[in-house]
Amino acid sequence: MTTWVPPEASGYIHWGATTQDIMDLASTLQMKAGLEIVERLLVQLETTLRKMSHAYRDVPMAGRTHLQHALPITFGYKCAVWLSSIRRHVLRIHQLQESSLMVQFGGAAGTLASLGTTDAGIRVRKRLGEVLGLTDPVITWHVARDTVAEIINFLALVGGSLGKIALDLIIMSSNELNEVAEPYVPHRGASSTMPQKRNPISSEVILAHSKILRAQAGLVLDGMVSDFERASGPWHLEWAAIPTAFISVVGSLFQADFALAGLVVNQSAMRENLLSTRGLIVSEAVMMALAVHIGRVRAHDVVYAACTKTIDTPGTHLLDMLKESEVVTSHLGQEELSRLCDPEQYMGCCQHMVDDMLRLYPETAPNGISAPAKKMNSALKRETNGYTNGDTDGLSNGYTNGQVNGVH
């Protein structure tokens, strides 16, 4: 480095700094650039999910708990739930960028003693932060690694949210449900021996990386436990965790937006699955209506008996069994029973919640990109590129322009 500057300045290279200062600064600057990429991709995914929430607001489907039919929902509601977590991550990343990207310059033991006993060292550190666009930490943080741990744990949180979306898509794309499919690319997701296969490759990659991200979060938490004024080993865990975490989350975000933006939604299959349990999915609606007359406990027992008979009698509908119950028919008329047994009449607040989520995005640019996303896209100096290679059965590739290229 001494050859990069004029001879009269070369003697000040590494002046007052220790090697960890330089390593931490490099890592922080890389994380700063990485968070800008993550932010852009989060906003891009947020925009995609906002559009999906609106488009599928009223599309009915089965809500499932413990993998079994629970109550009717809409696909737009499911998309809006996914959207809510991504929106929170966008808010979190703004907080991170303000609080966790700090300049590092402390010298041998963090005291800046080599620059004297005046405040000269502190002034140098503040100026260094200004030049690099990093926050001044007030006091040296080289053995207080909570900011690094916070950033990587944030990336793990993003991976967890994406993993939840991926798991939903994987199950929904099974042949038995057939409710969604990832975008079609010739030979993508195909098998070398089973030509009919259309595997949810993007979702599988995302799910795998959510586990990789969780492992990196554990590493940086271990790295926080530093001894005295210079760690004797834990700090080095970050060298593996930081690049792995950023590569994983950027790849996952790209794959998530690819899968969702082009998702094939089989609305007829959603409705068919909703009706497949022959009215059982709205047993709660009947129970609550009947409870007004005979109390909740007794109403539960009566409707439970009707559900059992429906399950044990193929070809019947819950409505048929309810009509055979004198307790039910003495309090609920035929028209009301028919309405209560219609899944599309028991959506609760699904659409209202979707509307409330969409109201958080009052401004939309003419091209369909939200105003915050448009602002962010114009502000970024780095570009993220990625593509899905159908010829390799959906292997994920991503890289960032600049001095560092990451491929996974």
Tokens representing residue 224 in the block: 């926080």
User: Do residues 378 and 245 make contact, with C-beta atoms less than 8 angstroms apart?
Assistant: no
3-state secondary structure of 74: strand
Tokens representing residue 361 in the block: 């995005």
34: Cβ contacts below 8 Å, ≥ 6 apart: 246, 250
The angle subtended at Cα 374 by Cα 371 and Cα 376, nearest 5°, is 110
- Catalytic hit among 66, 192, 232, 268: 66
Backbone angles phi, psi at 103, to 5 degrees: -70, 145
254: Cβ contacts below 8 Å, ≥ 6 apart: 41, 384, 386, 396, 398
Could you give the CA distance from residue 147 to residue 104 in angstroms, rounded to a whole number? 12
Identify any residues that bridge with 398 across adjacent strands, giving them in sequence order. Answer: 386
Could you give the CA distance from residue 194 to residue 391 in angstroms, rounded to a whole number? 16
**Angle of helix 146-172 relative to helix 201-223, nearest 10 degrees?**
160
Among 241, 228, 229, 172, which residue's Cα sits nearest to residue 200?
Answer: 172
161 is catalytic: no
DSSP assignment of 94-133 equals HHHHHHS-B-----SSSS-GGG-SSSHHHHHHHHHHHHHT
**172 φ/ψ sector (left φ>0, alpha ψ -120 to 50, else beta):** alpha
- Catalytic hit among 191, 236, 293, 330: 191
**407 φ/ψ sector (left φ>0, alpha ψ -120 to 50, else beta):** beta
191 is catalytic: yes
DSSP assignment of 378-405 equals HH-SS-EEEEEEGGGTSEEEEEESSS--
Identify residue 123 by its one-letter amino acid code.
R
What are the residue numbers of the active site? 66, 191
